[in-house]
Structure 1
């Protein structure tokens, strides 16, 4: 694939804001119509899933749009039907659930790292299309996105996280081991696509070498796939404040107030705004990259 020039930042910010306004419209339609939406985010570590989710939810109601990012299963959950712990996080009427990784853990990290048996993996590949068809048949709108990034870009982003205090928490031993198991993850992903890229719930691949392009493309695609319409909101008017009935506020001396640290701030201590270094990484050797 030909390398595209870096997306202009002002253009990115303007288009992102426009799309976020459309997401708010979509949210209102889902709420008023009682629709249910599940969006699955999968892909390589450091492929940009979290950043896309953050931009999607920025202006949405946390009561309606909720992120599902489950920890490792407990011993009790491991004894349950595999899909059982995910079912309780499916949306109710008027809700959006964004899965930051999902039941596809079994086809990826669990398969590659040996956290599941071969029999469990095969059972998942057989049951997953049935499970997803059941969701869709019940009226849930299911959208699946795979964020694709090259091995070299992934390594660059990992190196950035090693020194970025804002993102060091995103690195784990399992993440780092993915560098040495690149081809194993590629084979697992290819096998997963063969079994789960079904007509009712296709995998939508997001090229994520440029995170900003990826966010714009993914959000635009999501919006285009939902048949939402503009919902007319009732015109609201602020009521007049009634006259006082003599209420007197409690003496401030009886309350414990948060100290005013702003009084000690100095203009000379002004720091530059934090910029995510991963958004600024640009790969000039894409011809040798292995994307997946």
Structure 2
């Protein structure tokens, strides 16, 4: 049976058929032994749309460089929510000399004695640069109190300072975007199972990850508090529904492009 004959069983548009018969569509049609036309079409559309958005991200970066703008994007969410995958798609084709991905490790003894935000201040962008935080200062709003990594006083102090801290970032002529990738408990469990069973992924599981399902309700409690107290008009949270990774990546990139008022410029 030909692709045309197979697709006659479904109600596909002319554009859908064109996509399925394109090199991208054919790649996904024959990727698995069992042909899944719906999945192939969905993945082909995703790849096409992703490439279009990645082209726009290059324009955004050129505008950032040429106009000496500063951009900070926070990627927050539960463990295995897809933050890293989204970051990889965002940075896949932009100039590596003008962006940084920041994923800070556990604070050193010296850093533990500093003002909490100090090590994050040291990572903020210089003019013409974009910085993407794979988890950020909001560790203290969720991961740390849930797992006993900070005291109640430290948590309360953080919650009392964070809005002012972000106000100062914004007032320093910096674009600040806060993305929260939201997944269901069932989806997180499924992803953990996949990670544990894969020799290429199992390194991702940490002791904190191992307790994430058990502490699900505690994380929820602190997440609600975080949204209630830090979702401000100048610096709002954007919730990305992330049970389907491909849709989450598209939504995240589209929001970034829609929010930052960049213009298409020729790189200088």
TM-score band, normalised by shorter chain: 0.7 to 0.9
Alignment match of 1:151 (pick from 181, 185, 190): 185
Q: 2:90 matched to 1:56?
A: yes
Q: Does residue 176 in structure 1 map to residue 210 in structure 2?
A: yes
Which among 99, 103, 107 is matched to residue 73 of structure 1? 107
1:114-153 correspondence to structure 2 within 5 Å: 114-153=148-187
**Aligned to 1:166, which of 200, 203, 208?**
200
The separation in 1 between residues aligned to 2:97 and 2:48, in whole angstroms, is 26
Tell me if the contact between 2:62 and 2:266 (Cα under 8 Å) persists in the aligned partners: no
**What corresponds to 2:250 in structure 1?**
216
Classify the secondary structure of the residue corresponding to 2:212. helix
Aligned ranges 1:217-236 → 2 under 5 Å: 217-233=251-267
User: Which one of the candidate residues 46, 51, 56 is aligned to 1:17?
Assistant: 51
1:105-146 deviation line (CA, Å, top 9, x unaligned): 001110101111101101100100000000001111000000
Contact 2:73–2:131 (8 Å) recurs in 1? yes
Counterpart-to-counterpart distance in 1, 2:191 and 2:267: 43
Question: If the length of structure 2 is used for normalisation, what is the TM-score?
Answer: 0.84
1:198 to 2:232 alignment: yes
Uncovered stretches (5+) of structure 2, i.e. residues with no partner: 1-37
Q: Which residue of 2 is the match for residue 255 of structure 1?
A: none
TM-score normalised according to structure 1 size: 0.77
SS at match of 2:97: coil
Rounded Cα–Cα distance in structure 2 between residues aligned with 1:12 and 1:67: 24
SS of 1:73's equivalent in the other structure is: coil
Match of residue 246 from structure 1: none
* Structure 1 counterpart of 2:119, from 74, 81, 85: 85
| Inter-partner Cα distance in structure 2 for 1:25 and 1:221 | 15
Q: Distance in 2 between matches of 1:169 and 1:230?
A: 40
Q: Residue 34 of structure 1 corresponds to which residue in structure 2?
A: 68
RMSD: 1.1
Q: Which residue of the other structure, out of 185, 194, 198, is the alignment partner of 2:219? A: 185
The aligned counterpart of 2:32 is: none
Q: Quote the offset at 1:166 in angstroms.
A: 1.5
* Runs of 4+ deviating beyond 6 Å: none
CA distance in 1, matches of 2:205, 2:57: 30
CA contact (8 A) 2:86 2:249 kept: yes
Return the alpha-carbon distance in structure 2 between the equivalents of residues 190 and 113 of structure 1. Answer: 17
Cα deviation for residue 171 of structure 1 reads: 0.5
Contact 2:66 2:267 in 1 (8 A): no
